């Protein structure tokens, strides 16, 4: 019974997550998978908390796009897989993934509702400890 409840809860939360912003997550995933900073930046909030390796800060949309472009140039993406998605208590949406280039990175992005759509407020590419 407990396993069934957990599975149902997982399926419900996943379907709620998918219905909250259909298409957006797929577009973001595709942009990361192909290393396209310009496409990814379409979903940036006006200011983005960005963590790339040991660099972190809050940057304007344009600055964040340039930093992500530099990251993708230095780390050409070989593969990207979404590992987990969910919602936070404040109804923010998040996705955790694994990005493979010459190195492996744990990725994380947080989407918050802005008007009628969701925008990336936080984006992280952190060295993955294997």
Q: In the 8-state DSSP scheme, what is residue 97?
A: E
End-to-end CA distance of the chain: 35
pLDDT tens, position by position, 55-84: 999 999 999 999 999 999 999 999 999 999
Could you tell me the domains of the chain? 2-127 (3.10.450.50)
Give just the sign of the alpha carbon dihedral 109, 40, 19, 106: negative
Residue 25 or 97, more confident: 97
List residues bridging with 59 in a β-sheet.
48
Backbone angles phi, psi at 13, to 5 degrees: -65, -35
User: What pTM was computed for the model?
Assistant: 0.81
How does residue 130 score in pLDDT terms, banded at 50, 70 and 90? low
């Amino acid at each position: 019974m407990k396993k069934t409840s957990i599975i149902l809860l997982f399926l419900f939360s996943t379907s709620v997550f998918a219905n909250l912003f259909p298409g957006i997550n797929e577009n973001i995933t595709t942009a990361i998978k192909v290393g396209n900073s310009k496409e990814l930046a379409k979903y940036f909030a006006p200011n983005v908390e960005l963590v790339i390796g040991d660099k972190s800060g809050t940057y304007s949309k344009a600055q964040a796009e340039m930093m992500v472009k530099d990251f993708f140039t230095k780390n050409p993406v070989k593969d990207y897989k979404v590992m987990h998605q969910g919602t936070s208590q404040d109804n923010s949406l998040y996705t955790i993934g694994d990005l493979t280039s010459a190195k492996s990175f744990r990725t994380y992005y947080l989407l918050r509702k802005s008007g009628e759509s969701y925008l990336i407020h936080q984006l992280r590419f952190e060295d993955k400890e294997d």
